[in-house]
Structure 1
C-alpha cells in the first residue's frame, strides 16, 4: 500500500500509479444514481431555505468564459460579485470571479479591497491540449497578474488512453508553479464516460496535489450532475480519511436555479459532511445561477419576486 501522504513528492512510478487507481473500489452506478435522486427530493423549510440561499451565494464562482468577453464586461461582473443586489446590503458577496487569463488584471483591479478571489482558467482551457511549457506559462502569467486561484483542465485524451502518469505529472508541475495559489483541477467528467473514471481522475488529481477537484469546463455536455458530484464528494471524504488532507469540490456548468443549488448543498452535507459546507471547500461554478438565487431571496424577504429584469444580466 503506497504512502498516499507523500505520493506526489515521491513521483510515483507509472505502474504504481495505475495499480493504485485501478485498485479503487468500483462505483455502483445504480446505487449512486438512486442515492443522488433520493437526496434531491429532500424538502427544505423556509428558515433553512433562507440560510441555504445565502450560503449558496457565498459559494458562487461568478464566471464569464466567452470569446467575446471584454474588459467592460469583466468590470460589470466584478461589481455584481461584490454587491449582488445593490438595493440590499445584507446579500453576501460571492466567493470568486472566474475569467480567462488575459483578463485577470482587469478583475484584480475591479475587486481590489473586496476580499473576493480571482480565478483564472489556465492550461489550454477548455481542451487541455497544449505542451506543458505553454500551460505553465499561462499559469505564470495569470498568477503574475494577481490570480488567487487557477482552474486547470486535465488532458482527457491522455487519461482515456491510459497515460495516467502524464496527467499526474502535469498537475504536479502546475501545482508547483502555483505555490500558495489554490489549484482547482477540472476533470471534464462529461468526457470521462464512466463513474469509475470519475473516481480514478478525482484520486489522481488529489494525489498530484490539487486543492479542489472540479467537474467541468461548462463547454461540454453533460456538465455537472448530482451523481458525478456524489462520486467526487465520496472521493474527497475518503481521501481525507486516508491522508488527513482536505480537498474541495466544485461542480460547474448547468447549475441554473436555486432548487438546483440547494440539491447540491444537501448532497455535500449528506455525503462529505458539514466540514465541506463553506466557500473554502465547496464552490458552485455558474453564470446565470446568481440571478435566480437573488430572485428567490427577494421572494422570501418581501413576499414578491423581483423579476428576472430587476437584476443585471450576466
Structure 2
C-alpha cells in the first residue's frame, strides 16, 4: 500500500508502561510440566535454525539442516509420545552463498530455506547491489529473504525513502517471503520502532523482525511488545495479518516460553504457528532439547550428549 504516515505519526509510546507490561507477562503466566513440554515442542516448530558466521562451510550448513529435520533425539520424541509426529524447525537461515547447500540438503522436506540479504547486517551498500543480492539468493533456492533496512531513514524521519527502499526489496523477492529486519537496537526510541514497523508493513513485508543479532541490544520483550501492537493496529486497519520474528541473543528455553506467552496474550492462539511467528536462534534449540530430556528422564544430560548444530 502507499505510505500512510497518519497510521504512525503522532502515536506516542509510553516506555515505562511497555516495560511494565512486558515484565508482568511472564510473572503472571506460568506453564509447568506437561504443558511446558508442549509449549517447548511448539517453539521448535517456530525456530529459524540459523548460522551466520564468517567461518560457515557447506558441511556446517548440511549439519544444521540435518538438525532442522530431526530437532529432537528419538528417545525424547518417544518419551513425549511424539514418535509418529513429523517435527522440524520452521526454517534454516543462512548467508546467500550457503543457500544452495541448504536447498540441496532440505530438498523435498518442506522446510524452507531463509537467506539474509541486502548487505546484512549493516545494510550500508548501494541499493542496486542490495537488490542484486536478493535476486541471487532467490535464484540459489531461497524461499524466504531477511532484508535489513537503512537505519538512517528512520533516525532522520525520511519515511518515504524507507518505504520506497523496502518496496523495491519486496519486488526483488518475487514469490519468496520477505522478513524486514528493523535492527531495533539502533533505532533509539520506541516511537521509531513503531513507525518503522508500520512503514515496513505498508511496503509489503510478510514479517517484521527485531534484530540482526549483531547489534549491541537485540530482541527484548518491551520492543517486541511495541512491534506486536503495531501488527495488531495494522491488521485492524487493513485486514492483513503480518508475521513477527524476534531474533538475537535468545539462548534459553525459558525465553521461548516468554515470547510465546507474549504472542498469545497480545494476538491470540493462531499466532503461535510458524506461518505467523518465528524465532531467529541457534543455541536455543539445544537448551530446549535439554529441558525436554529432563522432562522425559528426570535428569539433565551433558551438552556432549546432544548433536552439534
- Contact residue 85 and residue 311 of structure 1 kept, 8 A: no
Cα root mean square deviation, aligned: 1.3
> 1:19: Cα distance to partner?
5.0
Q: Which residue does 1:29 correspond to in 2?
A: 15
TM-score, length-scaled by structure 1: 0.92
Query: How far apart are the structure 2 equivalents of 1:69 and 1:145?
Result: 17
- Contact residue 163 and residue 200 of structure 2 kept, 8 A: yes
> 1:130: Cα distance to partner?
1.2
- Contact residue 7 and residue 198 of structure 2 kept, 8 A: no
TM-score, length-scaled by structure 2: 0.94
Query: How far apart are the structure 1 equivalents of 2:7 and 2:240?
Result: 18
Q: Within 5 A, what are the aligned runs for 1:95-114? A: 95-114=90-109
Secondary structure of 1:40's counterpart equals helix
Q: Which residue does 2:64 correspond to in 1?
A: 77
Q: Within 5 A, what are the aligned runs for 1:8-23? A: 8=2, 12=3, 17-18=4-5, 20-23=7-10
Query: How far apart are the structure 2 equivalents of 1:204 and 1:148?
Result: 23
> 1:294: Cα distance to partner?
0.4
Q: Which residue does 2:35 correspond to in 1?
A: 48
**Among 149, 153, 159, the residue aligned to 1:154:** 149
Q: Which residue does 2:25 correspond to in 1?
A: 39
Query: How far apart are the structure 2 equivalents of 1:279 and 1:217?
Result: 19
Q: Which residue does 1:295 correspond to in 2?
A: 290
Secondary structure of 2:74's counterpart equals coil
- Contact residue 205 and residue 242 of structure 2 kept, 8 A: yes
> 1:18: Cα distance to partner?
4.5
- Contact residue 253 and residue 291 of structure 2 kept, 8 A: yes
| Aligned: 1:265 with 2:251 | no
| Aligned: 1:246 with 2:233 | no
Aligned length: 300
Query: How far apart are the structure 1 equivalents of 2:161 and 2:30?
Result: 44
Q: Which residue does 1:4 correspond to in 2?
A: none
- Contact residue 260 and residue 272 of structure 2 kept, 8 A: yes
